[in-house]
Structure 1
Amino acid sequence: MRATIRDVAKTAGVSIATVSKVFNGYTDVNEETKEKIFEVAKRLDYTPNMAARTLSSKKQQTIALILNELNFNRKSTMPMEVLNGVYKFTEQSDFEFVFYGTSTEKQESKTFRQFCNEHNITGAVIQGLKMTDPYYYEIQETSLPTVLIDVVVDNPAIGTVAIDSEAASLEAVNYLISQGHQNIGMINGSRDANVSILREQGYRKALEENAISVNEAYVQYANFDEEITFLITKNLLSNHKEVSALFCASDIMAIGAMRAVKDMGKRVPEDISIIGFDDIILASYVTPRLTTVAQDMEEIGYEAAKLLTEIINKEDQNNSIRRIIPYEIEYRESVSSKK
């Protein structure tokens, strides 16, 4: 149960009015008392509800979209697509919508429960959470209505919305194999991202099912970064000239790989075939146009918000709170048959 101002006052041995003064910035409370109240509040995991000061007695329910390690850029609009999806759902519901960015550093300074209490958040949709983030561990045990995008935790009360990344990767790599490629490299994201683990599992499964040995040197990590991918791809192709195809766990990395191939005097797809993942807008405009796994991030955001409201309202409690969104392979021009 959430700690109240009354709990803080009782534990600290002061009046409720004194606690209220401390959290409202009044200067007529001595420093020793302030420090004692802050220490007790931290121990009880109490944070003042800022919104409660201005809200009427009518209960307001607020859905928050929390994006971890927020990175809007001109090449990838995926965070904005998720935001659009959540916003579109809340626009046709009775829920208010707010949006916050967070980071590992912010999570270390304030717990997930404290953050949500402080901002009067009824439930949260979270995208971009890494398996090493403080919130990831907290959410394993939280009772706050929460839906994660692309992450699964061991908490049956937490919802998940994603495509089947393992199946999508399996299909993508099987397509490369069907075109005669045997020596297939993988440029993966980061080791602490759930989607990276699943996409690598699909890559390995495709090779194993086709009796192709997995060469560990072919699997590289570029942290979903275009420039890192550029360098890693040049190194991989220089040291393993037999590699004829690359499966990249994001389109941004696939674009970095395409640049590297061109910089080495080679051609896509004539010399190196490349498949990406996400189907960002640029995938249709690079040359050659990128073959990729398409996932609808706006639909994922919409379905995440919808699932969250069902959890908040305790609807369909017998149904699964893990939603799988369909994906498609967009066959374009970056893959050709092995010569």
Structure 2
Amino acid sequence: MSGKPVSLKVLAAHLGLTVGTVSRALNGYKDINRDTRDRVQRAADELGYRPNQNARRLSIGVPETICYLMPRYSSSLAQPFVAQLLQGLGEALSKRNWDLLVSHAESSKDELAQIDRLVRSGRVGGLVISRPLKNDPRIRLIQDLKCPFVVHGRTGSCDDYAWYDVDGDAAFVEAVNHLVSLGHSDVAFVGAPLQHQFAQDRLNGYQRAVVDNGLSVNPEYVQITDFSDEGGEIATNMLLDLPSPPTAIVCVSDMVALGAMAAIRGRGLVPGRDISVIGYDGLKFGTHSNPPLSTMAQPQAHAGRRLGDMLLSIIDGDDPKKHQELQRAHLLRRQSDGPMQPASAENTVSEREELQ
């Protein structure tokens, strides 16, 4: 049916039912029998009825809007990481006809004020935050405000709130073990600022794997940089300037790994042939890098869907502590990792491709 949307009152008159009965049928109330609910839904579909969400929200006292707090990084707005996460989060919320609000603040102080204002205004029914600090003041504030929330990641202590995370420690153990199996003994790490728990976890995994493989942790091979491709490029240039540069590099993210490969190419070297590079995230743009980026992959859209489902369950009354989920990343080999080559070896790009 086209034209002006049909109101609830018109739909009820068409069916010969009261407005209250039709409303309860559309919202799945069990005191309305199944046949009536099905008949009402069929008529609503045929007539093109669409509920007035604002009126519904006012009547039940729930805003039905979730706010995602954008990570505070200068390049975050351009990161596919965020876009894929939001895609999954939006899919989860749309199943319940909830809306998604995205908020971004320039500083920690601004972000805390923003959270306080959003919750006290009654505009949001829950919050999702990403990339928490080891000791994150946002979590304490949201708990004090008694607003439902879920965290993408974990803090140093994470027993009393809901979170979804991927095991960064285990991922970097796997990445280093893989490179050692290819013959690399000089493996470097390019990481992010360590006030973030995810950055610490990934460094811990790298260091543990180096030791477990009977190698020494070389402090010069650990570079902490800005969480960006530019940071990765700067850090990798520092590694390449060492008297004994590494033959392989594991990077805290795919964005950082892109910068690492740019630095390697800038020296006339070929990533994956002369120096192996492994990123972390598994973002789609890695298939188009030069060469395609090997990475520890985590599905961001899936993470967004899980975060949305978990938060809606908490809003419905679940104990947040029941919603704590740790997933594993998996090695996705493309062309930026390969066997250790003797210093004198001269391999062509075509020879590198034959190794894949």
TM-score exceeds 0.5: yes
Aligned-pair Cα RMSD in Å? 2.6
Distance 1:77 1:62 in 2: 23
Distance 1:139 1:58 in 2: 23
CA 141–276 in structure 1, closer or farther in 2 if over 3 Å, else same: same
CA 155–121 in structure 1, closer or farther in 2 if over 3 Å, else same: farther
Name the counterpart of 1:190: 193
SS at 2:146's partner residue?
A: coil
Query: Does residue 1:88 correspond to 2:91, yes or no?
Result: yes
Retained in 2: the 8 A contact 1:89–1:306? yes
Name the counterpart of 1:223: 226
Distance 2:273 2:158 in 1: 47
SS at 1:151's partner residue?
A: coil
Structural mapping, 1:156-195, within 5 Å? 156-195=159-198
Provide, for residues 186-227 of structure 1, a one-character-per-residue CA deviation record: whole Å limited to 9, x for no partner. Answer: 000111221111111110111111111111111001221212
Query: Does residue 1:277 correspond to 2:285, yes or no?
Result: no
Structural mapping, 1:1-339, within 5 Å? 56-60=58-62, 61-69=64-72, 71-72=75-76, 76-107=79-110, 110=113, 112-131=115-134, 134-139=137-142, 143-152=146-155, 154=157, 156-315=159-318, 317=319, 320-339=322-341
SS at 2:58's partner residue?
A: coil
Retained in 2: the 8 A contact 1:111–1:135? no
Shift of 1:165: 1.1
Distance 1:180 1:314 in 2: 52
Distance 1:241 1:140 in 2: 49
**What code does the residue aligned with 1:272 have?**
I
Distance 1:271 1:186 in 2: 17
SS at 1:300's partner residue?
A: helix
Distance 1:105 1:95 in 2: 27
Distance 1:156 1:179 in 2: 38
**What code does the residue aligned with 1:236 have?**
L
Provide, for residues 62-120 of structure 1, a one-character-per-residue CA deviation record: whole Å limited to 9, x for no partner. Answer: 3222213264555x311111111111011111534322223425536616344312252
Shift of 1:283: 0.8
Name the counterpart of 2:348: none
Structure with the largest fraction of helix: 2
Shift of 1:139: 4.6
TM-score normalized by the length of structure 1 = 0.76
Range that drifts further, 219-228 or 97-106: 97-106
CA 134–240 in structure 1, closer or farther in 2 if over 3 Å, else same: farther
**What code does the residue aligned with 1:189 have?**
A
Distance 1:318 1:238 in 2: 48
Shift of 1:132: 6.6
- Equivalent residue pairs, number: 286
SS at 1:192's partner residue?
A: coil
Retained in 2: the 8 A contact 1:188–1:222? yes
Unpaired segments of 5 or more residues in structure 1?
1-51
**What code does the residue aligned with 1:327 have?**
A
Provide, for residues 309-330 of structure 1, a one-character-per-residue CA deviation record: whole Å limited to 9, x for no partner. Answer: 1112223x49732112342211
Name the counterpart of 1:31: none
Provide, for residues 276-320 of structure 1, a one-character-per-residue CA deviation record: whole Å limited to 9, x for no partner. Answer: 1112222111122111011111110110111111112223x4973
- Larger Rg, first or second structure (1 or 2): 2
SS at 2:270's partner residue?
A: coil
Retained in 1: the 8 A contact 2:254–2:295? yes
CA 185–240 in structure 1, closer or farther in 2 if over 3 Å, else same: farther
Range that drifts further, 144-153 or 167-176: 144-153
Distance 1:197 1:158 in 2: 20
Name the counterpart of 1:48: none
Retained in 1: the 8 A contact 2:104–2:111? no
CA 254–318 in structure 1, closer or farther in 2 if over 3 Å, else same: closer
SS at 2:70's partner residue?
A: strand
Shift of 1:234: 1.2
Retained in 2: the 8 A contact 1:186–1:246? yes
Provide, for residues 9-61 of structure 1, a one-character-per-residue CA deviation record: whole Å limited to 9, x for no partner. Answer: xxxxxxxxxxxxxxxxxxxxxxxxxxxxxxxxxxxxxxxxxxx9996333223
TM-score normalized by the length of structure 2 = 0.73
